[in-house]
Amino acid sequence: MCGICGFTGYRQDQKTVIERMMKAIEHRGPDSEGSFCREKITLGFRRLSIIDLEDGQQPMESADGNLHIVFNGEIYDYKELRAELEAFGISFCTHSDTEVLINTIQQYGEKALDKLRGMFGFAVWNEQAQSLMLARDFFGIKPVYYAEIDGHFVFASEIKSILAFPGYERKVNQKALEQYLSFQYSPLEETFFRGIYKLMPGHMLLYKNGNYEIKTYFKTKLAPGQWDRKTNMEQLRNQLAENLKDSVEHHMLSDVEVGAFLSGGVDSGYLASSSGADQAFTVGFDEGDRYSEVNKAAKVAEKAGLKHHVKIISKQEFWDALPDVMYHMDEPLADASAVALYFLSKEAAGHVKVVLSGEGADELFGGYNIYREPESLKKIDWIPFGVRRVIGKLAAKLPDVKGRDFLIRAGMKVEERFIGNAYIYREKEKAQILKNKVTGPSTQEYLRPFFEELESENRGSLQDMEKMQSVDLSYWLPGDILQKADKMSMAHSLEVRVPFLDKEVFDFAAKLPKEAKIAAGTTKYIFRKAVSEFLPQETDERRKLGFPIPIRVWLRQDDWYQMVKELFTSKEAEEFFHTEELLQLLKDHKEKKADNSRKIWTVLSFLIWYDKFFVSYSK
């Protein structure tokens, strides 16, 4: 794992500028640095040594000397690719996956991306063509950002590296804020920093002569087969077990020790138990069993014979870490579990350089409880949809009583009611709290082209649950889950590997019918069957909990209430929000009139981010 950066065009101070950009992402690679400066290109690199510790220095060139690469990530099939390239007569100077990657690109060009199995964000300069290629992996595990500044095309693994480039003027992207308030992250290509963009998952960017084009090379497209009664469930289970085993083995390739994150759940439990890792890492809170999975994780660790490291996070240190968390996130993220992941990564980094983590299993195998909603709504399918819509609109005017939300959602199509695992502020609520008029599309308008493409590509064959999965794979997974995994681990120079987000595993999961995911009153049905032998029975049968964080409790306590109140009445809050509306949300939550914790946390996270990148910076 590493950090990359660079820019096109000549500058007299290009060495000074690239050193400043590299310094901004030093945490991504504290082991060494390297740069490559030519008249029309400058490349920078910070290294965290994982494979070929002695000789894997970057930037690196291809065997013919034409291509120059900076690469962040891991190529897990590099040994197979190396053998393939050697058959073509290409010789190697190192044992690194970087050298295999650059020569695979030399041999196959853009088609090289189809051969890769791994996580990556890289930049390749073609000296002969005087062109630059950027690429981001299939699922968005590794980030890539870019901008055009004063005639230079600038790119980096993190936004803060681009901010170090001379001439960029910091401005908040209001449209990103609007979408963030609903999604709890911004799904837009243009980031919260106006004029700085993220390269989306499964995309490449080709730059030449001052112009660039972006191409899609991979889509997380579901293609579920019809339920074939001839396909024995046992066959599916065995095939999945083999695919998972193969992926884990590839993800354990390393010249340093690999540990594992461990919650009390199925995903991380399987990885920690099956991988052969020696050490596992867990965090929790001293707020009762509801907010701590330490005891459940300990049972998994005991069964697997793992050395188990535990960090209990206090309320005060959680609060104190928020500015640093938002700094490393680059953009606001209103997922409070990012803070827990920050402490988990810090704990693990004290013992290992690499860990396995369970991201992606829920999106691939149908693990979220919300995916069961279409089944529950089928109970009232006999009521004509037009009647249900009228009932839903009437229910929306009722007080927040049990059953109200069910009636509201029953009167909406999945395209209207589902935007991902989080839906914080509805459109009317956003308009109420925002000082400036909403100028961007509603969340439904933003996602409409995506749903229309889904419908067109699949000829209406996807079920509602599969449409929900598709939204999460394309937006929630890269925008929330993987963004926090990369940024929080890299804050502590720790590499996180995610074996479930393997191309081979995805190809299998994409074909699974709904009945293999939601069945027998549970989620991830076939996945649970495939991994059950590695887990205590109670872990295998556990309902999906997520990462429980006690912000609901803490925001009702006087110390946090007062600190948040100060932020909500600050000059910065008044710049973006109607502060009287924020205070009402806070007051209603403290008095237990409503659970506004996620709404409060969403605004709070934005304000802390804004202070870090704009207020404190200007001072």
- Average pLDDT of span 74-93: 94
For residue 321, pLDDT beyond 80? yes
Tell me how far apart the alpha carbons of residues 321 and 339 are, in angstroms, rounded to a whole number: 7
- Considering the chain, what percentage of its residues have pLDDT values greater than 70? 97
Quick one: average pLDDT of 217-231?
77
| Residue written as token pair 């973006």 | 576
Give pLDDT tens digits for 89-126.
Answer: 998 988 999 999 999 999 999 999 999 999 999 999 99
Report pLDDT for 546.
63
- Catalytic (active site) residue 37: no
Q: Where are the beta strands (DSSP E) in 403-501?
A: 495-497
- Is the model's pLDDT at 242 over the cut of 90? yes
Query: Confidence band (pLDDT; 50, 70, 90) for 614?
Result: very high
Q: Is the pLDDT of residue 373 over 70?
A: yes
Tens digit of each residue's pLDDT (9 = 90 or more) over 500-556: 999 999 999 999 999 899 988 899 999 999 999 998 877 656 665 566 899 999 999
Please determine, for residue 229, whether its predicted confidence score (pLDDT) is greater than 80. Answer: no
What's the average model confidence in pLDDT over 284-290? 83
pLDDT digits (tens, 9 = 90+) for 125-161: 999 999 999 999 999 999 999 999 999 999 999 999 9
- The confidence band for 13, taking pLDDT boundaries of 50, 70 and 90, is very high
C-beta of residue 53 within 8 angstroms of C-beta of residue 94: no
Q: Which residue would you say has higher pLDDT here, 191 or 236?
A: 191
DSSP per position, 562-600: HHHHHHHTSHHHHHHB-HHHHHHHHHHHHTTSS--HHHH
Which of the four pLDDT bands, split at 50, 70 and 90, describes residue 14?
very high
Residue found by looking up tokens 């996270």 in the block? 605
At 520 the pLDDT is: 84
Between CA 617 and CA 518 the distance in angstroms is 49
Mean pLDDT of 447-465: 91
Cis peptide, bond prior to residue 374, ω within 30 of zero: no
Rounded Cα gap, residues 271 and 292, in angstroms: 20
Closest CA to 552 of 285, 181, 178: 285
485 or 378, higher pLDDT: 485
Lowest mean per-residue pLDDT among 201-205, 453-457, 485-489: 453-457
Residue-level pLDDT at 545: 59
Residue-wise pLDDT for 374-429, tens only, equals 988 888 888 988 999 999 888 888 887 788 888 888 889 999 999 999 999 999 99
**For residue 227, what pLDDT is reported?**
52
Band (pLDDT 50/70/90 cuts) for residue 319 is very high
Instruction: Please state the rounded mean pLDDT for residues 200-228.
Output: 91
Specify the pLDDT at position 224: 87
Q: What is the chain's mean pLDDT, rounded?
A: 93
Task: Tell me the pTM.
Answer: 0.95
Average pLDDT over residues 308-322: 96
Does pLDDT of 230 surpass 60? no
The pLDDT of residue 8: 97
Mean pLDDT in residue range 572-593: 97
Q: Helices 482-490 and 322-329, interaxial angle, to 10°? A: 110
Give the residue from 370, 366, 374, 376 showing the smallest Cα distance to 523: 366
Domains of the chain: 2-176+188-216 (3.60.20.10), 233-366+470-540 (3.40.50.620)
User: Pick from 446, 489, 547: which is nearest to 142 by CA?
Assistant: 489
Confidence of residue 231 (pLDDT cuts 50, 70, 90): low
Residue 396, helix vs strand vs coil: coil
Better-predicted residue by pLDDT, 4 or 619:
4
Per-residue confidence band for 326, with pLDDT thresholds at 50, 70 and 90 = very high
What ranges in 25-128 are assigned the alpha helix state H?
78-87, 97-108
Pair 606, 577: CB distance under 8 Å: no
pLDDT average, residue stretch 290-297: 86
Question: Helices H, strands E: what count in the chain?
Answer: 29, 17
